[in-house]
A and B are shown apart, each in its own frame.
Chain A
Amino acid sequence: MRISLRGSTKLMVFLILVWGGVPAYGQVARLQLNNLEKLSKKAAEVVDVQLDGSMLQLASKFLSEDEDADAAEVKELVKDLKGVYVKSFEFDKEGEYSEDDLDSVRAQLKGPGWSRMVSVISKREHENTEVYMMAMGSGTGIQGLAIIAAEPKELTVVNILGPIDLDKLSALEGHMGVPKLGLEKGGTPHKPGGGQNEKK
């Protein structure tokens, strides 16, 4: 069977394909963290912070009221972001979660566009912090970031959408629900007594 399309129809089909194939800016870097919900039953404390683009705009508006330099830096950082999502679990004892629980998150981070920037494993402290980024289609700039911070009794996953300057990422710690992860400039996690530092 031969299907012939007129020029305008071809253009429409092309546009639909292109439009459908390009997810909204930043959304492609959004991680599905629902699978972590099962940990809520075992965790002593669960914190779930969700700030989408409109909430961040709101946050940016209120931060401008503040006059200290720290707030100004956070405001600058936040104004272009499309989302900040944080899930944090605290357990009463070790071994309440396993690597398998993180499989669904890691599987997404193995998907196209994501690359692991850095992973710091502190054997002494039994801590592991991984930072992943998704580059813009053009190759310059970042459209999303993911941080997995795993400790024996604590697990935190942070997903940031939108352009972010890695040198300023640490400024976000302690704000917008992002816990203090000990990040240094460039998004490198700093762990005192770190045993192994693998950079990709």
Chain B
Amino acid sequence: MRRSSWLAGTLTGGLVLLCAAAASGRDKAFDDIVHRLEAHYQARPVRFMGLASFLSNRARPEGVRKMRLAVFEDLDPSQSPPGSDFDSFLQDVVGSEFKPFVRVLSRRDGEQTYVYARGAGDSCELLVVNFGRDEASVIQMRMKPDAMTDWFDEPAREARHSAHDAEREP
């Protein structure tokens, strides 16, 4: 009896560790991108929200189930976003699971938005990296299924909006 409960405990513990490792692996892309931006801009995000901070519905943009967010503000406008290798850096970091979905470059607005996507159960997970003139943000969002309809209809518009919505103060 004692042996079986020890076995059950060990298995449960192992499972928890495995889940934690898988979860941290999933979020590694987000962290790596944030670190890369910290190094590039020599700045720390002024707002950094992990999943736990986003339990409040008020703080979560519409259509988003879970979200992680890092916002860099007041960046030196003369310092351009990471160069042409950023595309390949992003693809390396996000791995093969995330697929490039939409990229919007706007010289008019001084903005660049990169969106990667992957299936996540009944929904979809999006990784959005946005550079403005003096701000940048990294957003990882698990979407509600119905919200994805808009993304597939007008990916460019949604890419722009999502970055702006997330950067707004809750």
Contact = CB atoms under 8 A, between A and B. Distances in A.
A166 interface: no
A141 interface: no
A151 B170 CA distance: 41
Assign chain A's interface to a size class: 20 to 34
B155 A49 contact: yes
Interface in A15-51: 40, 43-51
A174 B154 contact: yes
Contacts of B154: 174, 177
A60 to B, nearest CB: 9
Interface stretch (A63-71, A98-106, A126-134, A184-192): A63-71
Assign chain B's interface to a size class: 20 to 34
B74 interface: no
Interface string A165-189: 0000000001111000000000000
A16 to B, nearest CB: 27
A51 B149 CA distance: 14
B156 A58 contact: no
Contacts of B14: none
Interface string A64-80: 01100001000000000
Given A43-B107, A177-B156, 16 more contacts: A44-B107, A45-B107, A46-B103, A47-B102, A48-B102, A50-B102, A51-B101, A52-B99, A54-B99, A58-B148, A61-B145, A62-B152, A66-B146, A71-B149, A176-B153, A177-B102
